[in-house]
Amino acid sequence: MPSKWTIYGRTYQGVPAYIRILFTPAGLFIAIYLLIGVFYNTAPPHLPTAAFSLAAIHSWIQYFISIFLWPLSFWHPTLSVSQWPAGSTP
């Protein structure tokens, strides 16, 4: 079943449709978002090993999740489960 997309009044099908979607504002935003995620997460030791084991598969899954959720790495909550803020008592 071929995919057809109508973008700005023109109809695209197949590979040209995917390429055209990439150059829409939403497509560029998604591409830039993913590129930032890849480059933000590929500094050592973040890139998983290439070994074929269950641990390596788990590491690659964590890597791809971190690419999509990289903005959460900037969030530092004030109150965590195991620690009270400085100057307060439980």
pLDDT tens-digit readout, 70-84: 888 777 766 566 666
* pLDDT for 65: 84
The answer to whether the beta carbons of residues 20 and 7 sit under 8 Å apart is yes
Indicate the pTM of the whole model.
0.57
The answer to whether the beta carbons of residues 41 and 67 sit under 8 Å apart is yes
Tell me: cis bond preceding 44? Omega within 30 of 0 counts.
no
Structure tokens given for 13: 């099908």
CA–CA distance, 17 with 6 (Å, rounded to integer) = 9
CA–CA distance, 15 with 87 (Å, rounded to integer) = 59
pLDDT tens figures, 8-67: 788 888 788 778 878 888 888 988 988 888 887 766 556 666 777 888 888 888 888 888
The answer to whether the beta carbons of residues 63 and 47 sit under 8 Å apart is yes
